[in-house]
Amino acid sequence: MRRTIEIQQAGPVPGTVPGRPGPAGARCEAFIRGLYEEHGALLVRFATRLLGGDRHRAEDILQEAAVRAWRHSGTLGTQTKGLRPWLFTVVRNLVIDDQRSRRAASTASEPFEQAELPVADEVERTLTSHVVTQAMRDLSERQREVLIHMYFLGNSVAQTAEALGVPPGTVKSRTYYAMRALRAALEVRGVEC
């Protein structure tokens, strides 16, 4: 026995022309189109590499990232420029979530692929390095100097003070404010500290 379901079409949304998106729909479409044009190809390649060459899953990941970008457009702004680090972080996190859910769904008898982990770790390390480098550019020259000496070169407070020609207390103060500014710059880029 076959059942027939009748679907009734609702009338047009007030303030719109039937068959055409309203102002909000047009903005959404323009935002998504701009995002795909500016970042789509690069993000799909990135996700495809992380997923071991699975382009279809990579495109699904990109679609989800685009939806998340639209949902957060109020905090990110509606311009697609400057979204790249945030989008890479979202894509990476979506790939990790996808791999976890697939791994959990697979049976225990399937062999564990260790090759996935080093690639994901290396990509994550490279991406994090790129985001930190961009965030460092937002800092003042004095803040950058003290962080480079203290964290990248591994100097002590005394060594940094001597290299910069300032008292050790100044090094400690600059380090504190530089770390605070760096944390804020990273959070803007979607990295939780």
Q: Are residues 27 and 97 in the same domain?
A: yes
Q: Are residues 93 and 30 in the same domain?
A: yes
**7 found inside a domain:** no
Cβ-defined contacts of 59-66 (< 8 Å, 24+):
61/91, 61/94, 61/95, 61/98, 62/36, 62/91, 64/94, 65/90, 65/91, 65/94, 66/32, 66/35, 66/36
Q: How many domains does the chain have?
A: 2
For the chain, the straight-line distance linking the first and the last C-alpha, in angstroms and rounded, comes to 59
pLDDT score at 119 = 56
**187 found inside a domain:** yes
**11 found inside a domain:** no
Are 131 and 191 in contact by the 8 Å Cβ rule? The answer is yes
**pLDDT, one tens digit for every residue, the chain (193 residues):** 444 434 333 444 344 334 444 455 566 677 778 878 888 888 888 888 888 888 999 899 988 988 888 787 777 665 556 678 888 888 899 988 888 887 776 655 555 555 455 556 677 777 777 788 888 888 999 999 999 999 888 999 999 999 999 999 999 999 999 999 988 888 887 777 6
Q: Which domain holds residue 34?
A: 23-101
**121 found inside a domain:** no
- pTM, rounded to two decimals: 0.44
C-alpha to C-alpha distance for 21 and 107, rounded to whole angstroms = 45
